[in-house]
Amino acid sequence: MTDLSNSADPTATAELAETPPGRLSWSRLSEHPSLLIGGGIVVLMILIAIFAPLLAPHDPYAQDITNRAVPPVWFEAGSWEHVLGTDQLGRDYLSRLIYGARVSLLIGFAAVSIASVIGTTLGLLGGYFGGRVDMVVTFLTTIRLSLPIILVALAVVAVFGGSITIVVIVLGVLKWDRFAVVVRATSSQVARMEYVQSAKAAGASNLYIITREVLPNLTPQLIVIATIEIASAILMEAALSFLGLGVQPPTPSWGLMISEAKSYMFFSFWLISIPGIALATLVFAINLAGDGLRDLVSPDGRG
């Protein structure tokens, strides 16, 4: 069991894996303020990302190197022309921050979509069929878990060059383990349930049972894992970009913005704190929402 439950947050995986399948009870939403707050922030950020061209006051790529590192409006030297100031190349910081939300969210959602397809497929196969298939799935998951994920991601990006596509593919291919673990545990429970057994007896095909009976019952868990993984993928993109091996300039990515601002941090702290706070807020909100969702799907809430 241990070899399967040790992702970044093993307890979260274990809790989910032990949660019996069921459907989301949306009526209890109001009892979960963390879900409302977290979800609210996330939705807001998504809206900002979608409507970035309408919201950004300037072109995020337009540089003016005679007007660099103008501080935000709340500093004496700041102005309303650049509310959050300009960066080290004189680009409008607010506009870059707004477009940066696009990059972070796009990478988070896209990478996790790939990961969820891989992980869910493997988990379903292992959980539903059991036996040898399950052994293979468990084995693959163990191998994936034993690989140092950051190093492998860095190496692959270093070889193929940094771009949004490469980062999405690398993270997607590396981050499926939690999906596989939870889906495998839950689907093996579902597979043993009476209605599945009777559907089998009635001659329904495996594909039919998996897509019509098993998968719908996994939806709540999948949503919860997805939130955890999106948060983690966004952080990993930031870490890769921070090391200079993620999204490449001049794309406005929050990780890259932090990376570029880091040598200014002792003198112009706002340059690093603005994207830093934005990133932390997004990840915090996603995790908060994820926590709330987990409470929602576990039958008796927390503790």
Partner 1 sequence: MPIYLAKRFGLAVLVAFCVSILAFGLLRLQGNAAGALAGEGASAEDLAIIVETYGLDRPLIVQYASWLGDVLRGDFGTSYFFKSPVSDLIFDKIGNTVILAIMSLTIALAISIPLGVLAAVFSGSWIDRLCSLVSLLGQALPSFFLALCLVMLFAIKWRMLPASGAESWRHFILPAVTLGYYITPPFMRLVRAGMIDALSNDYVRTARAKGLPAHRVILKHALRNALVPVVGLVTVQLGLLIGGSVVIESIFALDGLGYLAYQAIGYRDFPVLQAVVLLLSVVYVVLTLLSDIVNAWLDPRLRVS
Partner 2 sequence: MTFRTTLAGASLGLLAALPGAAQQSENAVRFAYGQTLESPDPYFTTLRLGVILGRNVWDTLVVRNLETGEFEPLLATEWEWVDDTTLDLTLREGVTFHDGSTFEADDVVYTLSYAADPANRIVSQQVANWIESVEKTGEHSVRITTTGPTPAALEFVSSQLAIMPSDHYTGPGGTTDADLPIGTGPFRYAEYSAGGEIVLERFEDYTATDAKSAASLDRVSIRTIPDQQTQIAELLSGGLDLTMGLPKDQADQLAQMPGVEVQSGETMRIVFMQINTSDDTPNPALQDVRVRRALNHAIDKAAISENLVGEGSNTIDTVCFIDQFGCTDEGATSYPFDPDKARALLEEAGYGDGLTVELYAYRERHISEAVINYLSDVGVNVKLNFMQPAAMRDAMRAREVELAQNAWGSYSIYDLSASTPVYFGGQPDDNALDSELIETLDDAGKSMDTEERKTLYRQALQRIADEALAVPMFTLPVYYAGAEGLSYETYPDEILRFWEFSWSE
Residues that bind partner 2 (CB under 8 A): 61-63, 65-71, 75, 77, 88-89, 91, 158, 161-163, 244, 248-250, 260, 262-270
Is residue 167 part of the contact set for partner 1 (CB under 8 A)? no
Residue type, position 242, single letter: F
Cα 166 to Cα 107, 119, 169, 247, 252, distances in angstroms: 10, 19, 5, 9, 16
Which of 285, 234, 227 has the alpha carbon at shortest distance from 100?
Answer: 234
- Alpha-carbon distance of 107 to 194, in angstroms, equals 40
φ/ψ of 122, rounded to 5, equals: -60, -45
- The radius of gyration of the chain from alpha carbons, rounded to an integer in Å, stands at 22
Shortest Å distance, C-beta 151 to partner 2: 16
Residue 156 near which of partner 2, partner 1, none (CB within 5-8 Å, type-dependent): partner 1
Shortest Å distance, C-beta 115 to partner 1: 18
Is residue 169 part of the contact set for partner 1 (CB under 8 A)? no
- Alpha-carbon distance of 293 to 36, in angstroms, equals 10
- Alpha-carbon distance of 212 to 247, in angstroms, equals 39
Nearer to partner 2, 60 or 108 (CB): 60
Q: Any idea which residue has 């200079």 for tokens? A: 244
Nearer to partner 2, 82 or 144 (CB): 82
Nearer to partner 1, 26 or 266 (CB): 266
Asked if residues 179 and 189 have their Cβ atoms less than 8 Å apart, the reply is: no
Shortest Å distance, C-beta 284 to partner 2: 24
Asked if residues 231 and 285 have their Cβ atoms less than 8 Å apart, the reply is: no
Shortest Å distance, C-beta 268 to partner 1: 12
Nearer to partner 1, 63 or 88 (CB): 88
Q: Is 213 helix (H, G, I), strand (E, B) or coil?
A: helix
Is residue 283 part of the contact set for partner 1 (CB under 8 A)? yes
Shortest Å distance, C-beta 142 to partner 1: 5
How many CB atoms lie under 10 A from the CB of residue 97? 23
Span near partner 1 by CB under 8 A; candidates 105-113, 121-129, 199-207, 280-288: 280-288
The alpha carbon of 264 is separated from its chain's Cα centroid by a whole number of angstroms, namely: 29
Interface with partner 1 (CB under 8 A), residue total: 51
Nearer to partner 2, 89 or 223 (CB): 89
Residues within the interface to partner 1 (CB under 8 A):
1-3, 6, 8-12, 15, 139, 142-143, 145-152, 154-156, 158-159, 231, 235, 238-239, 242-243, 245, 255, 258, 262, 265-266, 269, 272, 276, 279-281, 283-284, 287-288, 291, 302-303
